[in-house]
């Protein structure tokens, strides 16, 4: 992400580069796609050498490479055949096995020493180890993701309230947050990834009136009550609550293992290191004028995860919440368009329906600070979670990658000029973005690779379809293009949980 300097009389705008897959050779192709093309060419060549009949030899020589190119390039159901092969295979395997998960929390008991019997996470989460570490007067829950080889912890923050500030304060706030990213990426710490979660839930619009009725003085003068009622009627009351969370992620390495073993033996040392890193991030957040509300201990983190599967569950209801109660009682992944989940405390027997989309394309034009406001704030009556995961790179690594992209762009432009081809204007704009990114990196900025996911939750499939259309329209106002993760919602849903997943290293 880069910034575009403008004059003092204009609002500052920001540029986000276009997504480009990484491959050994080629342009905008992944290694798997290149492997399919090479395999098709090899089989075509071998068929031309080994098949005696001329007709079959020509068919194999031409047909097999053409089939490989069609698998990689031909549009199919909004993607390509290559993209759908693994998704369809996994979905058919889930459908054959029933596709319904039921938790064993009710059957799990308590040991004689008072420890609860562990209950495994539902499919798609992977194996987890719950740890905890002191964090000021509280404690913070630290999750060890065994299969992903990562360690995560979360804190709740207050939204920066960008819309309540003037232009200069907004830009200063963004600059201070950029300083935070630069410090985390170029520092000596072990945090390599950050995730921002924006959770929007329905709230009682009459909560304030009920609180006044319950706690107000009955012997107050009549004129005072009438004046307060008149004042309350003039103030707009939102029926939504917005919660924001920051998740820090460390990737397991030899250096991290050595640091953890110097702190404490076993996995508890990882929790202590994460608590130290999180304290440093909190200090930087304070400098960036972002207030930290509280760390998420095991009870609060379990309640947050539980509420994401069942939005009826209040996030702040942490009594009797433990890591065993974080997961849903039932999970149904047999529907291709959405995921169904239900908890034991649900008021009805109906499932909650969840659909997840990934942000396929970020804005390709300069945008302002509040370009996500239509999606985050201006979409009422839709239960949603917006997750943005940022993989941080040190400045030196980001400059090397930028130089590689610059070299490839210049070589492609030179090749197009020699062949008298018309240059794609989108490539020209991308070259300008790469140049601007190089200037920002030269001034000390950190490299940030980001990916975004949006989960929409509704009570019924019909309401979910309406909410998906609403979210797509709001994303269009934010200059975003969405793609719903059909047939893999049970895996995509995990990317909007506080686990800092969904991006490749």
Domain of residue 14: give its range.
1-73
Mean pLDDT of 241-252: 92
pLDDT band at 452 (very low <50, low <70, confident <90, very high): very high
Residue of 23 and 435 predicted with greater confidence: 435
Q: What is the pLDDT of residues 28-48, one digit of tens each?
A: 677 788 889 999 999 999 988
Looking at the DSSP bridge assignments, the partners of residue 339 are 354
Q: Indicate the residue among 30, 58, 73 that finishes a domain.
A: 73
* SS3 label, residue 19: coil
Write down the pLDDT at residue 205: 61
Please, what's the b/e burial string for 334-360 (b: 16 or more CB within 10 A of its CB; e: otherwise)? ebeebbbbbbeebeeeebbbbbbbbbe
Residue of 430 and 314 predicted with greater confidence: 314
Distance CA 358, CA 482 (A): 6
Mean pLDDT, the chain, integer: 84
Contacts of 276 (CB under 8 A, 6+ apart): none
Write down the pLDDT at residue 462: 95
Residue 7 pLDDT exceeds 50: no
Distance CA 289, CA 302 (A): 28
Does 14 reside within a domain? Answer: yes
Mean pLDDT of 237-249: 83
pTM comes to 0.83
Write down the pLDDT at residue 9: 45
Write down the pLDDT at residue 153: 95
Contacts of 235 (CB under 8 A, 6+ apart): none
Distance CA 330, CA 340 (A): 8
Q: What is the pLDDT of residues 76-124, one digit of tens each?
A: 887 888 888 888 888 888 777 777 777 666 666 677 776 766 667 887 8
Write down the pLDDT at residue 350: 85
Distance CA 74, CA 81 (A): 7
> Considering only CA atoms, which of 501, 503, 505, 504 is closest in space to residue 145?
501
Q: Indicate the residue among 73, 89, 114 that finishes a domain.
A: 73
Distance CA 150, CA 429 (A): 36
Other residues' Cβ atoms within 10 Å of the Cβ of residue 220 = 10
Q: What is the pLDDT of residues 205-225, one digit of tens each?
A: 666 677 777 777 778 888 887
Does 460 reside within a domain? Answer: no
Distance CA 289, CA 242 (A): 18
> Considering only CA atoms, which of 104, 145, 149 is closest in space to residue 122?
104
| Percentage of residues of the chain with pLDDT beyond 90 | 34
Q: What is the pLDDT of residues 165-192, one digit of tens each?
A: 666 777 788 888 888 888 898 888 899 9
- Write out the DSSP string of 111-168: -TTSPBPP-PPPTTT--EEEEEEEETTEEEEEEEETTTTEEEEEEEE----GGGS-HH
Residue 229, phi then psi, degrees to nearest 5? -65, -40
Does 48 reside within a domain? Answer: yes
Diameter over CA atoms, the chain: 104
Contacts of 166 (CB under 8 A, 6+ apart): none
Mean pLDDT of 136-148: 92
* SS3 label, residue 86: helix
Does 277 reside within a domain? Answer: no
Residue 79 corresponds to which tokens in the numbers above?
Answer: 């993607």
Does 232 reside within a domain? Answer: yes
Residue 391 host element (H or E): strand 383-393
Q: What is the pLDDT of residues 146-170, one digit of tens each?
A: 999 999 999 999 875 555 566 677 7
| Percentage of residues of the chain with pLDDT beyond 70 | 88
* SS3 label, residue 448: strand
> Considering only CA atoms, which of 296, 321, 284, 271 is closest in space to residue 156?
296
Residue 383, phi then psi, degrees to nearest 5? -80, 120
* SS3 label, residue 454: strand
Q: Do 148 and 501 touch, CB atoms closer than 8 A? A: yes
Does 221 reside within a domain? Answer: yes
Other residues' Cβ atoms within 10 Å of the Cβ of residue 55 = 8
Secondary structure string (H, E, C) spanning 212-281: HHHHCCCCCCHHHHHHHHHHHHHCCCCCEEEEEEEEEEEECCHHHHHHHHHHCCCCHHHHHHHHHHHHHH
pLDDT band at 249 (very low <50, low <70, confident <90, very high): very high
Write down the pLDDT at residue 480: 92
Q: Indicate the residue among 178, 212, 237 that finishes a domain.
A: 237
Q: What's the Rg (C-alpha) of the chain?
A: 26
Does 59 reside within a domain? Answer: yes
Contacts of 272 (CB under 8 A, 6+ apart): 133, 260, 263, 264
Our count of domains for the chain comes to 2
Distance CA 343, CA 327 (A): 8
Does 371 reside within a domain? Answer: no
């Amino acid at each position: 992400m880069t910034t575009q300097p403008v004059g003092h009389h204009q609002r500052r705008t920001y540029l986000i580069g276009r997504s480009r897959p990484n491959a050994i050779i080629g342009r905008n192709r992944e290694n798997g796609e290149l492997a399919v093309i090479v395999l098709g060419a090899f089989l075509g060549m071998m068929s031309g050498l080994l098949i005696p009949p001329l007709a079959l030899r020509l068919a194999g020589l031409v047909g097999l490479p053409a089939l490989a190119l069609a698998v990689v390039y031909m549009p199919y159901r909004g993607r390509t055949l290559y993209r759908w092969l693994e998704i369809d295979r996994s979905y058919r395997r889930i459908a054959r096995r029933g596709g319904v998960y039921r938790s064993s929390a009710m059957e799990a008991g308590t040991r004689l020493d008072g420890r609860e019997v562990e209950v495994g996470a539902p499919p798609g989460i992977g194996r987890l180890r719950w740890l905890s570490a002191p964090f000021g007067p509280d404690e913070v829950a630290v999750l060890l993701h065994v299969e992903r080889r990562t360690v995560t912890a979360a804190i709740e923050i207050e939204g920066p309230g960008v819309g309540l500030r003037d232009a200069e304060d907004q830009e200063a706030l963004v600059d201070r947050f950029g300083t935070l990213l630069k410090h985390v990426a170029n520092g000596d710490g072990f945090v390599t990834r950050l995730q921002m979660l924006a959770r929007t839930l329905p709230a009682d619009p009459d909560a304030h009136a009920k609180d006044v009725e319950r706690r107000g003085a009955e012997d107050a003068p009549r004129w005072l009550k009438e004046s307060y009622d008149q004042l309350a009627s003039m103030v707009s009351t939102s029926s939504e609550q917005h919660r924001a969370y920051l998740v820090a992620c460390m990737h397991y390495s030899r250096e991290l293992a050595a640091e953890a073993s110097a702190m404490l033996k076993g996995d508890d040392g990882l929790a202590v290191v994460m608590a130290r890193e999180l304290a440093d991030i909190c200090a930087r957040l304070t400098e960036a004028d972002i207030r930290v509300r509280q760390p998420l201990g095991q009870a609060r983190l379990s309640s947050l995860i539980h509420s994401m599967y069942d939005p009826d569950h209040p996030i702040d209801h942490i009594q009797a919440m433990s890591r065993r109660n974080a997961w849903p009682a039932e999970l149904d992944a047999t529907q291709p368009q959405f995921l169904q989940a239900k908890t034991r405390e649900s008021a009805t027997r109906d499932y909650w329906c969840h659909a997840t989309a990934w942000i396929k394309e970020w804005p390709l034009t300069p945008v302002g600070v509040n370009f996500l406001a239509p999606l985050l704030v201006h979409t009422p009556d839709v239960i949603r979670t917006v997750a943005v995961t940022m993989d941080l790179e040190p400045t030196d690594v980001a400059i090397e990658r930028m130089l590689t992209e610059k070299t490839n762009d210049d070589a492609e432009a030179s090749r197009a000029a020699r062949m008298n081809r018309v240059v794609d204007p989108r490539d020209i704009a991308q070259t300008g973005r790469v140049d601007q990114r190089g200037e920002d990196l030269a001034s000390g900025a950190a490299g940030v690779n980001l990916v975004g996911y949006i989960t929409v939750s509704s009570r019924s499939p019909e309401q979910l379809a309406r909410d998906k259309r609403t979210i797509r329209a709001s994303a269009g106002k934010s200059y975003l293009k969405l793609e719903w993760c059909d047939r893999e919602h049970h895996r995509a849903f995990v990317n909007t949980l506080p686990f800092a997943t969904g991006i490749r290293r």
